[in-house]
Structure 1
């Protein structure tokens, strides 16, 4: 039953792509100030906590005590079974609503940025219905494309170039359309379709300067030229940067 708690606050905190040094000062302060820090974890086949710590949790534990962290199960990466996904969101919303009633202020840690392809969006919508009057805030985080650009030396945009961000979970055709257009194209979540991505890059003449990376800032980090992409599956959260051809020297895109 929905209730009104005008003094409750839900804060989505972006904790970056994995490197704990990339959490902003504002993000760290928000995590430490919250009564509880919620982290999303992968659902096992039975819908329960899969047991393995997620990337957001591992990052958060660099800044707050484990006692303050609460794991909440999400059907992350679930696209085929809509009913299971919706049930997981509902259950997560109910759990966070209870935490808000008990503690008042709850932070939700999400990898990357809470306003860019984040589970926080769905959680906030559910909680707003369950606990009307809850203030929802977000703290921006460093995104995977920014981190990959920094680690690989790829320049995301110059001058008047547009930047297109595509989740390959929408289908490789969406990526191919973007690659046929102008500017830099960034692809998220392409690991399971690496063969299709490599084909699209070759067909559009973009493979030469493109780079991909996964597990950025972690021990298992991998950053490679896109030309090395084969048909092998890659980590789900792999990121691709495909810059346009740049000619005309310094300032040529102004």
Structure 2
């Protein structure tokens, strides 16, 4: 059947949020790769996968996930990870790569697939979607992501708080990822744009250390790196006010 690399989204951390298709893909692969930092501690993806896969089939591969300044070190880690996964594909034929959230949304799988594809042009690459942190936070924190014709903007705050502030000036819901180290700047951006009310942030969703609070309670100092913020669109017109002319109100 040839070699096949599948990126499997395993959600934000709660094992119950892995889809049936995701579980089947993990169990069908001969080897399941999980990304770890060079410090060696277990990450969310590995902890989630262990609920469904025999640990003997799990292969831990180092990514420089915490590297933001040394590009050469980061690139070297990606190259080494790609070589390791390529070797597993040659040996086993099928490999699944578990990634938190969704493999097509700010995922390390993107870089891995690119590297492996260059090493093994004949490999088939596929993805299985996963539930994202913004969906989980919306469910746990009671924040509606979109209504009617509202746009939804997703911003990684690693791009800078100015990018977030520009998005907050727009009309729709804004979701911010990876803002833990810039929590004070995020709070300032919400205040400057009048978007603090109704906004909610969360970290460690579905895990023992889960924290979900209104954005007005953003703590002084850094939060966990993988914190998520939802600033809902302003909704002052009552039920269905955001439905445009000719827009059907069905569950689309």
Q: Would the TM-score normalized by the shorter structure come out above 0.5?
A: yes
- Number of aligned residue pairs: 243
Indicate the SS of the match to 1:100. Answer: helix
The residue number in structure 1 matching 2:13 is 18
Shift of 1:214: 0.4
1:175 corresponding residue in structure 2: 164
Could you tell me how far apart the structure 2 residues matched to 1:39 and 1:230 are? 31
SS across alignment from 2:106: coil
Gaps of 5+ in 2: 244-252
Match of 1:32 among 2, 5, 27: 27
Asked if 1:82 corresponds to 2:71, the answer is yes
Q: Point out where structure 1 has 5 or more consecutive residues left out of the alignment.
A: 1-5, 44-49
User: Is contact 2:171–2:234 with CA below 8 Å preserved after alignment?
Assistant: no
Farther off after superposition, 78-87 or 104-113 = 78-87
Find out whether 1:151 has 2:149 as its counterpart: no
Measure how far apart 1:232 and its partner are. Answer: 1.6
3-state secondary structure, aligned to 1:71? strand
CA distance in 1, matches of 2:164, 2:130: 24
2:128 to 126, 132, 139: 139
Aligned with 1:204 (options 193, 210, 213): 193
Match 2:112 to one of 112, 123, 131 = 123
The answer on 1:186 being equivalent to 2:175 is: yes
Q: Give the whole-Å Cα distance in 2 for the aligned partners of 1:249 and 1:200.
A: 27
TM-score normalised to structure 2 length:
0.95
Contact 2:8–2:97 (Cα < 8 Å) also in 1: yes
Correspondence 1:54 to 2:49: no
Q: Secondary structure at 1:137's aligned position in 2?
A: strand
- How far did 1:51 drift? 2.3
Shift of 1:79: 1.4
The counterpart of 2:103, out of the listed 114, 118, 127, is 114
TM-score normalised to the size of structure 1? 0.95
Query: 1:72 aligns to what?
Result: 61
- 1:8 — aligned with what? 3
